[in-house]
Amino acid sequence: MIEVNVIVFRPCKTTLGANMVTVFADPFDALFNLQRALEARTESDWLQNQTAGQGPFPPINVFQQEADVVAIVELPGVDKNDLQIQAKENTIRIAGGKAVDLPEGVSVHRRERIFGEFDRTLSLPIQLDPDRIKAEYQDGILALFLPRSERDKPRTIKIG
């Protein structure tokens, strides 16, 4: 990246008759700083950017509910039989596909809806109990209830 600093000096008169110089820094610096600040606000320290996949589909929201974790995945147009969900230690993998059937001879003028194969892996900051994971799918929304492993839960220790 090439960094360019542009400084503009513009003389102006004060009410006392003295000359002042107004200095303007590079306007792109302000925009880049704003962009970095907005990106920092949307990032989650809790997940530590631990998602992997090909693009942002499907979008996933993850939150903690008491000791467990809940993941809400938006999958409009995806049949639940086309989904594969795997869990291991602190990782959840969601894979599947979404097909778009167009009639013969149709010309596409604009395509904004995503289709094709997807594969997302999400690493969580806790160990999971794979045997107790529950999944519900309704109206294109997948809810994963991810219980924390018993051995990962904090223990209270009594002093003897």
Q: Among candidates 65, 82, 77, 76, which has minimal Cα distance to 124? A: 65
Which domain, by its residues, includes 31? Answer: 8-42
Same-domain pairing of 32 and 63: no
| Three-class secondary structure of residue 32 per DSSP | helix
Q: Does the residue 107 lie in any domain?
A: no
Per the listing, tokens 């960094």 go with 3
Q: Does the residue 159 lie in any domain?
A: no
pLDDT band per the 50, 70, 90 thresholds, residue 115:
confident
Quick: pLDDT tens for 26-62: 777 777 777 777 666 555 444 444 444 445 578 899 9
Quick: pLDDT tens for 67-76: 889 999 999 8
Q: Does the residue 132 lie in any domain?
A: yes
CATH of residue 85's domain is: 2.60.40.790
Same-domain pairing of 80 and 132: yes
Same-domain pairing of 35 and 74: no
**Are 121 and 53 a contacting pair, CB within 8 Å?**
yes
